[in-house]
Amino acid sequence: MNVEQLPGSYTGGRPAHVASQPIFEPGQQVTATILAVGPGGVGVAYLESVALGLEVEKVLPGEKVQAEILWLRPLRGPYRRTWQAWQQRVPALAAVATPGWFGRAQAVGVLEPVQARQSPACPHFGACGGCSWQHARYEVQLERKRQTVIAALGRVVGKASPPAPGQTASGATQTPLVDLNQLVEPVIPSPRQWGYRNKLEFTFDAQANLGFHTPGRYWEILPAPQCRIGSEEMVAAARLVSGWAKEKGLPGYDQRNSTGFLRHLVVRQAQATGELMVALETFPPPPPTPQPPAQSPEPAGELLPQSPESASGPSSAPPQLASLPELPDSPAAFPYAGELVARLKAALPHLTSVLWLCNPSPSDVVKVENGRLLVLYGRPYIEEKLAGLTFRIELPTFFQTNTAQAETLVRLAREAAAPNPSDLLFDLYCGVGTFSLPLASACRQVVGIEIVAAAVAAAQANAERNGVGNAAFLAGDTRRVWDQAVATFGGPDVVLLDPPRSGAGGKVIRRIGRTSPRRVVYVSCNPQTLADDLAELLPFGYRLARVQPVDLFPHTDHVETVAMLERTGQGGKE
C-alpha cells in the first residue's frame, strides 16, 4: 500500500522509523486504504512507503480514503501498545516493518467506498460521541457485532481450560472444541433503529448550552437540537428546558472550577405507557434569582459570573464541597420552577414527573446519593410495562434502555433457564426485578441479589405490585451475600446473572461453580468480560450450549449476549 501524494503532503523517502521529526504536520493529507476497523468506527492503515501506522476515524474496512492528519507521535509507550493491539487484530500488520511514528487522522473524503457504507442520518454524526456506526448499513452492523462476540469467546472456547480451584495444572479439564460460527446465532435486530432509547442524559456547559460531551474533551458540550435515538417528545423536552435556561440567564456548571448551577438533564419515557419524566440536576446552592435579559431571550451568561476572575460579588465565588450550605428542602428554592413546569405541561402531553436533584458531588455523573431529590410536579417515578408486569422507574433506577429488546432478553432468559416448577433460581445483579419477576411464575422461588439498596426496595415493591409472592431480594455485594443466600434458601438449581460491563469477576463465578447449579444463564453487555467469566466457569464442568446476541443499541459498538451453560458433571471443584 502506497501513499498517494497530495498537495502539501510528505514528498521525501526517508523511512518513518529513522525520522527524528514527524514526517507530516497536522492538516496535511494522505490517501490510504483501510485494513480493518475497531471500536467506534476507527480504522487502521499502514503507509508502506513511509512506514507510518495511522488510525482513521469513521471509515469502513477496504475503503480508500483521503485523510487529514490530526497528530503524530513516536511509536513508544502507549502508542506502541496500541499498534501491537492492531497487529493482533489484523494479521496483515504482523509482517510489516514496525513504524517509527503512529498517528490519528480524520477522513475528509471517501475515494472508493465499499457497499456497506450509507449516509449518516444524524447531522451530529462525527462530532457527537454517540452513534459511531451510522455510516454502515444496519445488516453490516449486526454482523460486525456477531463477529465481536465470536472473537471474544474464541479466546476461551476450544482451548485448554485453566485448573479449577483445588486442581493441579495436569488435572485441568479440556473444553470441547466448539465451532463458534455455528454456536453464535445471528444477532436479533432491534425493532426500532431510531427512537429506541427510553432514557437520554444531557449535560450543560458553563454557558448553559445543553447537549452531549465532545469525545475526548469532557468540558466541551456539543449542542444537540436533534437526537435520533430518543423519542420526539424526549428531544422536545430537552429543547424546551434549554430555551428556558437561556432565557432566564441561569448559569451552567463549570466542572473545571466547580462553579455554576445547571448540571444535567435526564429525560425518561416509558415506551409502553408513554409516561415522561424530566429531571434537572444542579449544583448547590441555588443561585440568586438573576434578572432575565431586557429585550432578547438569547444566551445571557454574563448576568452571573462564571469564574473568580469575572466575579462581581460574593455569589460567584466557587463553593467548596466541605463548606456547602444545607441542601434545599423545598421546591420553592428552584428559580423559575413554576414557569418551567407550566411550559413543560403545555408542550408535553405525556408529562408525568418533573424532578429537581441538587447534587453536591464534584463528579460529572448524575448521583442521587448524598444529594436531595425534590418533586416539582407529579410523582417521583414513571411506570413501564414489561413481560406483562408493571415496573416503577425512578430517577436512579437501572432499567434496560431499549424496552422492546428488554422484552426479547426476558424471553431468551426464560427459554435458556427453562426452570422446573420445583427449582430455586438465583438472579444476580437483579436490579428492580427485570428478570426475577417474569421468571418467578415458572419456579418454586426466585432470590434476587443486588448491591444497590434502592433497587432492592424497588424490586420488592414491584413484586408486591404485581402479586409475585415467591420472590425474595437481598441487598449487598454478590461476593458477600452469596453464602448467606445459600445458607438461607439452599443451593440454586439455576443461576441467572446480568452483571455490569466489568463482568461478575472470578470470586463470584467460582462461588457459582462450587455450588453446582444445573444451568447458568449469563446476560452480558460486554463480550470481553463475558469471555473472562466463562474462562472461570467452564472448568467446573460446564459446557456452552447456546449463545444469542441481541442488539439493544443500533449504530453503536454495544451488543448484549445471552449465553446458556449446562453442567456436565465432569469438572473439578474445591
What's the rounded Cα separation, in Å, for the pair 388 and 340? Answer: 35
Closest CA to 557 of 42, 124, 69, 95: 42
Q: Strands 424-428 and 494-497: what pairing?
A: parallel
Contact 98, 75 (CB under 8 A): yes
Half-sphere exposure in the Cβ direction for 414 (13 Å, CA): 18
| DSSP code of residue 184 | B
What's the rounded Cα separation, in Å, for the pair 62 and 44? Answer: 10
Closest CA to 230 of 130, 133, 144: 130
Element (H, E) at 484: helix 478-489
What's the rounded Cα separation, in Å, for the pair 508 and 540? Answer: 13
DSSP string across 98-131: PPSEEEEEEEEEEEE--TTB---SSTTBTTBSS-
Which class for 567: exposed (0-12), middle (13-18), buried (19 or more C-beta within 10 A)? middle
* Residues 6 or more apart whose Cβ sits within 8 Å of residue 490: 424
For the chain, the distance separating the N- and C-terminal CA atoms, rounded to the nearest angstrom, is 55
Contact 169, 541 (CB under 8 A): no
Q: Measuring CA to CA, how many Å separate 17 from each of 33, 34, 42, 99?
A: 20, 21, 23, 5
What's the rounded Cα separation, in Å, for the pair 196 and 190? Answer: 8
Say which of 128, 227, 358, 525 is annotated catalytic: 525
Q: Nearest 10 degrees: CA dihedral of 208, 211, 212, 213?
A: -20
User: Nine-digit cell at 290?
Assistant: 438573576
What amino acid occupies position 400?
Q
The owner of cell 445471552 is 562
Cis ω on the peptide bond leading into residue 438 (within 30° of 0)? Answer: no
What's the rounded Cα separation, in Å, for the pair 550 and 112? Answer: 32
What's the rounded Cα separation, in Å, for the pair 30 and 13? Answer: 15
Which class for 521: exposed (0-12), middle (13-18), buried (19 or more C-beta within 10 A)? buried
Element (H, E) at 524: strand 519-524
Does 128 qualify as catalytic in the annotation? no
Active site members: 525
